[in-house]
Every structure is written in structure tokens, then in C-alpha cells.
Structure 1
Amino acid sequence: MRLSALYRFPLKSAIGESLPRVQLDNIGMLGDRRWMLVDANNGRFFTQRAMAHMSQLSALWNAQGGLTLSAEGFQPLDVPVPGPDADMRGAFIWSDSMVVPDAGDEAADWLSRFLGKACRLVHVPVDRARDIPGSLGPQEKVGFPDGFPLLLIGQASLDDLSARVGRPLEMLRFRTNLVVEGSEPYAEDSWKRIRIGDVEFRVVKGCTRCIMTTIDPKTGQRSSDREPLTTLKTYREKEGEVYFGQNLINEGAGELAVGMDVEVLE
């Protein structure tokens, strides 16, 4: 088995980017979901679940950790990482509350015009990351992903789902970080520990899927037949939740590159 693709999502719920290699730090993939949009009035996080057009927002990570924002009809905007004197803002993601740096008025104005709703852009430094659900110790932290630092899907699993749905599905629809080639469909469901390169990962739980999987990442349109969620419910539902892919926690820093061998340790 080998690592066949790497994806990073610098801004939560915005466009993802394909990478040939990437660094891992103590809270996951460097630059992945370190930025988030929140309601300017109450700090609640925004995603494609309610705002499907976020799928058309490009927010590319740069080497300084900042973002370059772009979208059709908008002039690109470079947003630097908030400095030590940046205003702090309360942000709420699911049941977690955080206090994190605000990226400033220029970014907020640009993004509010794009969204059509007043928002603020916030950033999470490593030292302000939140606890992973059910974590085993204070060293296990995560930035702005829904719950866990990394998501893995086997290419064979997506191929099987596409065949069941009757049309090819894009991997980006599922917002995974790591794609593994050479395994059987859904083999990742049984993995507990894996190694890629010099980094070991704990496979902690299946990823529950929601309405976001029905949004075409190219157009931002929801599928009228609610696929692939409709098909997933026929064979991947358990106790009222639909699962596709596996959440991972990396045990230490390191580098991943497309083509690396994937070894199942347990």
C-alpha cells in the first residue's frame, strides 16, 4: 500500500489544495484548518453545511502561515498571520469554546462581502489548540477540524462507493487529508495503528458524514438526489450515523510525501 494523495484545507470549509509533500506538527498537518470563519456577532463557526458557496472560496496557505484569499469577482487578498498585538476573539466550534487571534478588519470586510454575512477570520496558533475529544493526555490537541487532526480514506473505498452511486465521485468531496492506494475497500475500518514514512498514527474512530458530502466541490451545488449520502445510508449507517473514512492522530512531527509506503502496525 502507498500514500497516493495529500490534501490540505488551510481555511475550514474552503477549497482544498493537493500537495506532493507536507510537514506534520503537533496538531496535525502544517497549515491545515488553522483558519476559520466565525459569525461577527456571536463567534459561531461557519461551514458549507449552511453556506455551500464557501466551497468556491480559495484560501491558499503560504510559507509564512498566512492566507491568500481569492474568489470569482474579487481581487485577491493576502492575509498575514496575526501578530502578538492582534485582537483576541471568542470562537465556538461545536461544543468547544476558544479564544484566538483575529485577522483584522480588511480580511473580515473581504470575506463578509463574499459570504453575504458579517464574519471574522480567526487563526489558531499551536499553543491555543483545543483538546481532541476523548484525548489521552494534554499533549493531544487539534486546531479547527471538526474533531481530529487528520482524515484518511482508501482509494478503493471511494471507487466502491462511486460504483454503487453510479457515477464517479471526487475525493475532495470528502475533505480527506490522506488517500491510501492498494488496500481493499474499507480496509481502513479495521486499522488501529499505521506507519507512513517515519511517522506513526493512531486510527481513532470512523468519520461521521453529513450533508456536506452532497456538495459538488467544483460548482458548489448540492446534488438533487442527495448522493452520495443516500447510498452511504444503505450500507454504512450504524446507530443513526453514517461513516466513511477514518480519523487519525499523528504521534509526533515529520514529513509525508506522495508515494510513501503505508504499513499497518495493528
Structure 2
Amino acid sequence: MSFKASYATAAIASAGVIGGAYAAYHLYNKLQKPKLPEEWTQVGTLKNIYVYPIKSCGPVILNSVECTLLGLKSGWLRDRVLMVVDDKYNFVTARVYPDLLLVKPSVNNSILTLKHPDMETLSVNLAEVAALQSPKIASVWQVQVPVYDCGGEAAEWFSKVLGKPTSTMRLVYYASQNCRSLRGANSMYKFTKNDTGALSDEVSFNLLNEASVDDLNNRLKDCNASHSRFRPNFVLDGAQPYDEDNWKFVKIGENVFEVIKPCTRCVLTTIDPETGLRDVKAEPLETLKSYRQIQYPDGHKNEGNSPRMGLQMSLRSPPGGTISLNDPIYVA
């Protein structure tokens, strides 16, 4: 066989291998994507939309919002793209520092405004932070994430809020367009690389059924648990209590979400978001534990003793869709 013939044969073989690999790759991707339902049942409507620009701080209430892989978005306002860290760039939350819940952020164009009952108002230009700062490495649940430091004024402001020495608490801004990695995802749940959002604990979207919260309140004796204690993105009105336990997919308007896992609850629910005070009887968490523990087939408590309330969801329709108040909510 001539050199040209051998070369042509090798090229054809290589092309076959590459083509086969390409086809296999796309088949793999296709198999990884869940098959979306064709039939839906309406269960209610969307009552509230919340975006939390700073992890563990107060929400911004919206009438409409855009869905992205990183979470909810309205211009420069994005869900959980900022957080407070200590001097070693480890994240801190309201679980330890309840005063964070009293911080009320707002975003106008690229200007983040911070308010707290005991502090003067502070503004931070996020566009300048992103343009002028070099990324640093911070830690969220032992996962390293790239962040921009929001500067000395913000550090001094949050240090005073939390009663710490000057500039030992700092505000940082997520420095990536990709979802962060997730530490040790539970093998029972199927997370993809596009599910974990920016600085959220697990996934990009959280839905709460108001009827389930109402049922919880009927069981509570000495306190009332508003849905704000559960820090949802979406609040559903019109469903039956705990119907959400059986849903695999949720559609809000034309936006489709896959339910990745139930949302398990921690001590953050025992802190009143309006006052920053902890409930002395650890309610409503203790009552939730009495009847909302997850029962696994093997009897193993994969989530410890954390009870469930709400759904953790990931976007499965194309990003860029809009969600508005009173949109119908369907499930499958």
C-alpha cells in the first residue's frame, strides 16, 4: 500500500473514531438530561418571589424575575452572589450571626445598598468591584470559590454589624459565571454541574408550599412561623399541605424545574428574621422534627435529624425565561 493510501486509510479510521466518540458524547449528554413531562397538573399560583442577594441576609421582594442557571436574576440583582466571610475568607451565616438577617440589601443598576437598624446606609458599586478587583479564593462548605472582595468600607460596616474587630468580616462577590462545585453530594440525589448555583447551600431554586407552612402553624403552640423563616425563592398558593412530597417536576409559567431533593431544615428556622432573636424552645424546628423526618428505604438517616419543608429545584428549561407573580404552577 502506498504512503498516500495508508494515510487516507488512517485518516478515515481516525475520522470514524472521532465521529463515534462525538456521537457517543452526545448520546451520553442526551441520556443525562431528564425526559421532561408532557402532561401537567395545575396545583396553584405563584404568590411570592424572593431574591437574596447576600447569603443569610434579608430578601428583595419582586413581581417578576429572570431564571438563569445561577439562580434568579433581575439586572444586577442576583440570588446569593454575595456573602460575608471572616478574615480567612471562610463564609459565615446567620446560624451563628443572627444579625445578618437584619441587613436589608437592595440593588439599583450596579449599586448595592445596605441597611441595618443600627448602622448608617452603605452603598457598594458592584460593577467597580468586578472591574477593579482580582479574584480571591473563599470557602463555602469546604468548597473553594472565586470571589471579589468588596473593599474596606463594606468590611468595616459588616464587622460593626457583627460586633467584630475592624475589617475582620468582609463582603465578597461571586467571581464566576459557572455554578460552584458541591461538596460530597448525597448519592441518593442526582446533582449535575449546572444545579448548584453561586453561593447557595445546595441548588439554585427553592419552592415553599404555603399550605404546608399553615399546617405547621396549626401544630405550633407558642409561636408562629411565617414562610420568611424558610427563605424560599417561590411561595406556592393553592396546593394541599405536603403535596409537594410527591412532585418530580414543577413548571412555573413556561419555566420547568426538576425537583432534586427535599429541602431539609436547620437552626436558621428558629431565628425570627424580623428581630434576629432565637426561639428559646427551638421552634418551629422541634415540631417539624416530630413529623417531617425523611424516611429512607434502607432506614439510614442521610440527612441526620433535619426535617423537610419545601423543595430544592434546578432549571431544566432554557435559561432566560421570566417568572411573574400569579403565574400558574403545574406539577408532574
Instruction: Give the TM interval when normalised to the shorter protein.
Output: over 0.9
Which stretch of structure 1 is more off in the superposition, 6-15 or 109-118? Answer: 109-118
Aligned-partner Cα distance in 1 for 2:194–2:97? 33
1:107 shift after superposition: 1.1
Task: Look up the match of 2:200.
Answer: 145
Consecutive unaligned residues of structure 1, counting only runs of 5 or more, are none
TM-score normalised per structure 2: 0.75
Write 1 or 2 for the structure with the bigger share of strand: 1
How do 1:213-228 and structure 2 match up within 5 A?
213-228=269-284
Does residue 14 in structure 1 map to residue 57 in structure 2? yes
Task: Look up the match of 1:68.
Answer: 113
1:178 shift after superposition: 0.4
Task: Look up the match of 2:156.
Answer: 109
Q: Is the 8 Å Cα contact of residues 201 and 249 (structure 1) preserved in structure 2?
A: yes
Between the two structures, name the one with larger relative contact order (CA 8 Å, sep ≥ 6): 1
Amino acid corresponding to residue 70 of structure 2 in structure 1:
I
Q: Is the 8 Å Cα contact of residues 199 and 253 (structure 1) preserved in structure 2?
A: no
Task: Look up the match of 2:215.
Answer: 160
Task: Look up the match of 2:80.
Answer: 33
Task: Look up the match of 2:313.
Answer: 248
1:191 shift after superposition: 0.7
TM-score normalised per structure 1: 0.93
Q: Is the 8 Å Cα contact of residues 160 and 185 (structure 1) preserved in structure 2?
A: yes
Aligned-partner Cα distance in 2 for 1:62–1:37? 20
How do 1:1-266 and structure 2 match up within 5 A?
1-30=44-73, 31-40=78-87, 42-64=88-110, 66-81=111-126, 82-117=129-164, 118-131=168-181, 133=185, 137-166=192-221, 167-238=223-294, 239=301, 240-251=305-316, 252-264=319-331, 266=332
Task: Look up the match of 2:10.
Answer: none
How many equivalent residue pairs?
263
Aligned-partner Cα distance in 2 for 1:262–1:153? 12
1:25 shift after superposition: 1.6
Tell me the percent identity: 33
Amino acid corresponding to residue 105 of structure 1 in structure 2:
G
1:102-154: per-residue Cα shift (whole Å, max 9, x none)?
11111111111111221111111452530354665444441111111011110
Q: Which structure has the larger Rg over C-alpha atoms?
A: 2
Consecutive unaligned residues of structure 2, counting only runs of 5 or more, are 1-43, 295-300
1:4 shift after superposition: 0.9
